[in-house]
Every structure is written in structure tokens, then in C-alpha cells.
Chain A
């Protein structure tokens, strides 16, 4: 078995005449934290949407753990252990924090309609376990105190963490984070970096990350892919990316 968890080859995506992503290739290894960076409009989120099944790419292959997932609908991709967060947080705002985590376990709860209607012991047990898992993850991201609050009323940084917890409770193999540090203060960014590191260490999840905050990206990533205008500029370890002239040019423009 190869060590590659996610293999993307020749990915191409466009909207009408606009080519948003052109021939992007990368691999994410097991236990790797892999970041995609680039200026606004570089096509990072489009890559995410293709990988997570929200877009059907025009060309290219996406293989998750040896299985081809190109063009599969997003919910099927998620069931194979690839889940994502969103740039603009997408929590179920009216539901409480704990309910958000219960909904995310929907796939794991194998209770039937009848056992639920009759509230059988098996059903109660299953619900109790789901609640315990939710409690565990709320503790994990430090939101236990807000468990019964509607998710929409939580502070912005808390919402970000809840969204990550909601992904993790599905027991994914690959976690896609779309600008997780956007809108966080420096303190929260440090906590986020710690959290990402711990998720990998304790839960064996690989992380694919889009981020603008260079401090976070350089600190947490094993490898970084740089994009500009839909094209891949380079893929390398942080130290070399930092020194790469093409990368600097992409960010600061031609001089």
C-alpha cells in the first residue's frame, strides 16, 4: 500500500470561458498536513470543491486511498472519509452546538425507524453513545460550556472550532480546512495551530489546508502547494517555498 492518501492528477476546472484550475497535481500522504496557498482568485477553493465532490472537474483524476472518487457526489465523498469545512462557516445555526455534532453522526447511527419510534433499549443506547461522542468533541475543542446554545449565537472563533469538531466526529481520514484562521485573533490562531497538530497526532487524520495566514501555514504544514491564476507554481517544504522567487512574485506582482 502506498503512503499516498489523496492523489490528484491533471486536475482542470473552469466556468464558461474561465479556467479556474489548470493541471494541478499533488499528493497528500497519510498523517501529512498539506497546505494550498496563493493570492485571492488563484483557484484554491475550486480545487477544494473538486476534491470534496461539490464540483465535477473537467479533467483529471482524484484518488482517495486507492479509490477513484472523481465526480462522485459530495455526500459519497464524505462517506469515504473526506470531509471539509467552509470558508464562510456553515453550521446549522438554529440547532444547538451538541445537535450539530449529533447530526454529523447520522451515518454512524444505525438505528431503524421502528426502534426509534418505540424507543427501544438499543435505540436509547445508540443515542446515549452519540451524545457521549458529542460531549467528547465539545470538550476537545473547549466548547462544552456552550453545548446547549444555538450554534449561530456562538462567537466567531468558537463557530470555527465547532465546525472542525463537527467534521472530526465523522471520523474522517482526510480533513479539508478552507481558511480556518480567517477572522481569528492571534491568540485563537495559535490555539488553532495546536488543535490541527493534535488532530493529526491523536486522531491520525491528514489535513489539507487553504490558508492566507503565513505564520500558521509555515508553522503547521509539512508541504505547501502554491497556486496563482489557476496554475500550480510549486510544491515544496515551507522553508523552500518561503525562499522561492516565483512565489514572492505571485504575491507581490512583477517588478
Chain B
């Protein structure tokens, strides 16, 4: 009991120290003078709250087990996982024809995060390499399309493979020097890489347009047929003319959504196959014990590099898709927060669990929209959810069930 009291007192004291400069002291300008207005009542309130929670903490989480428990997910067999995936997919394809324009657009964004989450899951979940600069590859994908369009007039479909290849190349080149690093060191270097990319894009004004970015990026065509009100070239046909429909901007939104869905399904399929292939097993083995891998003749650098490169490829695909959806890229879209968000998707969903990552990506994009009224508290709620998750469900929403190769015994 006295131990509890001591802990609670220390926590309350720390809270007071932390909170005082943030909400306890307010600078206010009166005429020409700056005055400091203290709000001690708020500090006391915060400290008291922390004191109480810490005091009651042991009774809430008794014997190391949680007294408050989330409903446990049923243990999903690979077969059930597959059925779950198919159901999600069916809903996914039917959805845009019923949803409102805004909702479909939001769903497109969610799918981009699904692709990013699944891509990063290869690096973080499968291979166990903590990559905090994933957004760098995303930016490379986006800017590749934007620049190719801007300077060479490339369309979306011509740019897509180039964007993927450029991101893969970047992953490969970055991977070479840094993949001998482990854990935290790797995280710091990749974090730096993400920032370098963003700063480069920001400062190479002649090439990338600097902070303004590149705008007017066209949307994808349907097999070369434009989906606009009027054809951009003389005598060109547009999609609605071809089908004899009246022009609706809704069509484009649905088309983008379906493309995003196909991209997400493709990503899911590839990562699902990869983990069942020798290379996937090598990633998992490397995550567990690098020295043992080396003693068996696996080249750790090559194995890591493959994970890094493949993960980056998907970021590149998602990036060029993002550019097409927005019609505009600027460095603002590729900040560190974005990396953190994608990582949160992977961790929240359950590292290495594809279905979990998909769910988490949807949650993380859709929930903030639903809770728009609480927009000011978004990051606060986000932080709270992460803390609670780590207490109650550190293995993620849907922990990975490893695809076991069963050998009849």
C-alpha cells in the first residue's frame, strides 16, 4: 500500500512538472507587456487525476492480468482468415455503388493506407526491420508520377511501373549501407532518410516546385479513354460519351476507388504469397536470429535488402496512386507523422498479420472522419488508443497466426 502511495505521489509530481509549462503558465500580451498568467488550478487537477489513477492502478490490473478485458478475438484459422478476406472483398466491390461520394472518396484513402500498411508490414512485420522513413518511398512514388507528367507528359499507367521501380531502387540503394545496422540504429537512419527526401523535395524548387509542389496531375484513364467532361485533345472521346451516359464526376470517384481496391488486393495477394515462400521464411528466420541465419549460409544483407526493396515498391505504387487521387503533390503530404501513422497501422493491426493491418488501416482513416467533432483532440485520442492497446493487446487487433507448414506426424 505504501509502495502504491509512493508511486502515485511520484507520478503526480512528474505530472505537475510536465504540465506546468504546457497548461499551467500562459503568456498573455497586455498592451506592450507580456505577462505570465498561472493556472495552478488546472495543474492541481491534472496531478490529482494522475495520483488517483496511479493509486487505483494495481486494483484495476490485478495479478498482472487485466481486470478490464477486451473481448478476445476468436482464434482465426488460416481458412477462416481467407473467408474473412473474401467477405471484406465482396463488400469492397459492392460498396461504391451505394455509398455517397464523400464516403467512397474516404474509402479510397483508406485503401491507400491498406496498401501502405501491407507494404510496411513486409518490412516491419515479416522481416522485423523497424523502418521510420517509409514515407520517403511513398513520396518518391508520388513525385515520380508528378514529375514524369510534368516534364514528359506521361500518363498514370505509364508512370505506375516507373514509380514502383524508382521506389524499389531507392529502397535498394538506401538498404545497402544501412541494413548492417540493427534495431534502434536502423530506425534512426531510416527516419533521417524520410526527412532527407522531404527536405530535398522542398528545396529543389526548380525541379519539384518546392513547397508548392506540382499540381494539375491528371487522373488515370480507362484504357486510354479519359474520364473528363470534355476530351483534352481535339476529336478525343471521353468515357461518358462512349457509354452514352451523362457526365457525372461521381464516376471518376468510383473508378479511383475500384483501382485502389485492385491495388490493395494485389498487394495483399503478393504479401500473402511472399510469406509462404522461401524468401518469406528467410525473413522470419532473420527476424528471430541473424547469427543462426548466417551460420546456415543465408546472406543477411541480401535477405533484408529484398524485404526493404519489396516494401518500398508498394509504397511507390501507393504514392503514384495518391498523386493521381489528389491531383497535387507537395512535401507537406510526406511528413514524419505520415510514417508514424503507417507504422501505427501495422502495430495496431498486429505485426505480420495481413487481415489485422487491413482492419487497422480502415479504422485509422475512417474513425477520425466519423469523430470530426473531436478533431481538436484527434492526436490526444490517438495517443490514448495506442497506450491502451499496448496495455491490453500488445500483439495488435488481430495477432498474426503464422502460416504454418503442416507436416503430418
Contact = CB atoms under 8 A, between A and B. Distances in A.
A147 B406 CA distance: 8
A76 B298 CA distance: 8
Interface string B363-398: 000000000000000000000000000000000000
Contacts of A90: 289, 291-292, 295
Interface string A207-240: 0000000000000000000000000000000000
B294 interface: yes
Given A94-B402, A98-B405, A98-B407, A106 B298 contact: yes
A107 B297 contact: yes
Interface in A76-129: 76, 78-79, 83-84, 86, 90-96, 98-100, 102-107, 109, 111, 113, 116-117, 119, 123
Contacts of A113: 277, 279
Contacts of A78: 294-297
A45 to B, nearest CB: 13
A134 interface: yes
A131 interface: yes
A166 B281 CA distance: 14
Contacts of B402: 94-95
B64 interface: no
B296 A103 contact: yes
Nearest to B406: A148
A152 B298 CA distance: 21
B235 interface: no
B178 interface: no
Contact of A144 (B273, B277, B404, B409): B409
Given A99-B404, A109-B278, A117-B273, A75 B288 contact: no
A52 interface: yes
A54 interface: yes
A138 B282 CA distance: 20
B295 A74 contact: yes
Contacts of A73: 294
Interface residues of A, number: 48
B9 to A, nearest CB: 41
Contacts of A91: 289, 292
Instruction: Give the bracket for the number of chain B residues in contact with chain A.
Output: 20 to 34
Contacts of A147: 407, 409
Contact of A54 (B291, B293, B409): B291
Contacts of A86: 291-292, 295
Interface string B270-286: 10011001110110110
A86 B290 CA distance: 13
B288 A170 contact: no
Contacts of B24: none
Given A111-B278, A116-B277, A92 B409 contact: no
A174 to B, nearest CB: 13
A145 interface: yes
Contacts of B295: 52, 54, 74-75, 78, 83-84, 86, 90
Interface string A135-171: 1001000001111100000000000000000110010
B215 interface: no
B208 to A, nearest CB: 32
Contacts of A145: 409
Given A74-B294, A90-B292, A107-B297, A116 B278 contact: yes
Contacts of B288: 92-95
Contacts of A95: 281, 284-285, 288, 402
Contacts of B326: none
B300 interface: yes
A49 to B, nearest CB: 10
A119 B277 CA distance: 9
Contact of B297 (A75, A100, A123): A75
Nearest to A166: B296
A116 B405 contact: no
B35 interface: no
B294 A148 contact: no
A75 B405 contact: no
B273 to A, nearest CB: 5
B100 interface: no
A134 B298 contact: no
Interface string B28-57: 000000000000000000000000000000
Contacts of A103: 281-282, 284-285, 293, 296, 298
B75 interface: no
A117 B297 CA distance: 24
Contacts of A99: 281, 284, 404-405
Contacts of B296: 75, 78, 83, 103-104, 106-107, 166-167, 170
Contacts of B277: 111, 113, 116-117, 123
Interface string B194-222: 00000000000000000000000000000
B292 A92 contact: yes
A93 B288 CA distance: 7
Nearest to A105: B278
B81 interface: no
A79 B297 contact: yes
Given A52-B295, A75-B296, A170-B297, 4 more contacts: A78-B295, A79-B297, A117-B277, A144-B407
16 contacts: A52-B295, A54-B294, A74-B294, A74-B295, A75-B295, A75-B298, A78-B295, A78-B296, A95-B288, A99-B405, A105-B278, A116-B278, A117-B273, A117-B274, A131-B407, A134-B407
Question: Which 10 residue pairs across A and B have the least CB separation, nearest first?
Answer: A78-B297, A116-B277, A90-B292, A147-B407, A92-B288, A103-B285, A74-B294, A79-B297, A98-B407, A75-B294
Interface of B: 270, 273-274, 277-279, 281-282, 284-285, 288-289, 291-300, 402, 404-407, 409
